[in-house]
Amino acid sequence: MVSENAMTDSEALPRVVGDTTQLAVGAGSVWRLEPPARGLDANVIDLPAGDGIAAHDGPELDVLIHVLAGGGTLETAESEVALSPGVLVWLPARSRRRFVAGPEGLRYLSVHARKPGLGIRTRP
């Protein structure tokens, strides 16, 4: 019996999954990792100038962001972190964060372990 999450041989091969230089400008997630059988989630977030993501406690997993374009500020529970192209930021699990895009907007790649999907189970 083959697991529903098992990869076929062709799915297990390295491949190009996107090109950040070809992404349209938008608001929110403008790209996401698509292969269904994976242990990793990734997406590109694009925030227009002055826009942001409201303060919140992060998920139950670590997140790594890589600023691709523009700039802005990451507000944490204790300080502010300047964001500019090339900056890599580690966001520990459950850490407080707020993103504010600068005058040129903010585009970043976000990478983390895949979040478990919602499962509905019946009682035995």
Q: How many domains does the chain contain in total?
A: 1
For residue 100, give every residue at least 6 positions away whose Cβ sits within 8 Å of its Cβ, in sequence order, or none. 50, 52, 72, 73, 75, 106
Q: Is residue 87 part of a domain?
A: yes
Q: Kindly state the tokens that stand for 110.
A: 């976000």
Q: Does residue 97 contact residue 62 with C-beta atoms inside 8 Å?
A: no
Is residue 59 in some structural domain? yes
CATH number for position 34 = 2.60.120.10
Query: What are the pLDDT digits (tens) for 63-106?
Result: 999 999 999 999 999 999 999 999 999 999 999 999 999 999 99
Q: Which domain holds residue 37?
A: 25-113
pLDDT tens across 23-75, in order? 777 777 887 888 777 788 899 999 999 999 999 999 899 999 999 999 999 99
Collect all residues with Cβ–Cβ distance below 8 Å to 30 and sequence separation of at least 6. Answer: 23, 24, 44, 45, 46, 107
Q: Does any domain span residue 124?
A: no
pTM of the entire structure?
Answer: 0.78
Residue 11's pLDDT is 65
Assigned domain for 17 exists: no
Q: Is the residue at 20 inside a domain?
A: no
97 lies in some domain: yes
Give a yes or no: residue 55 inside a domain.
Answer: yes
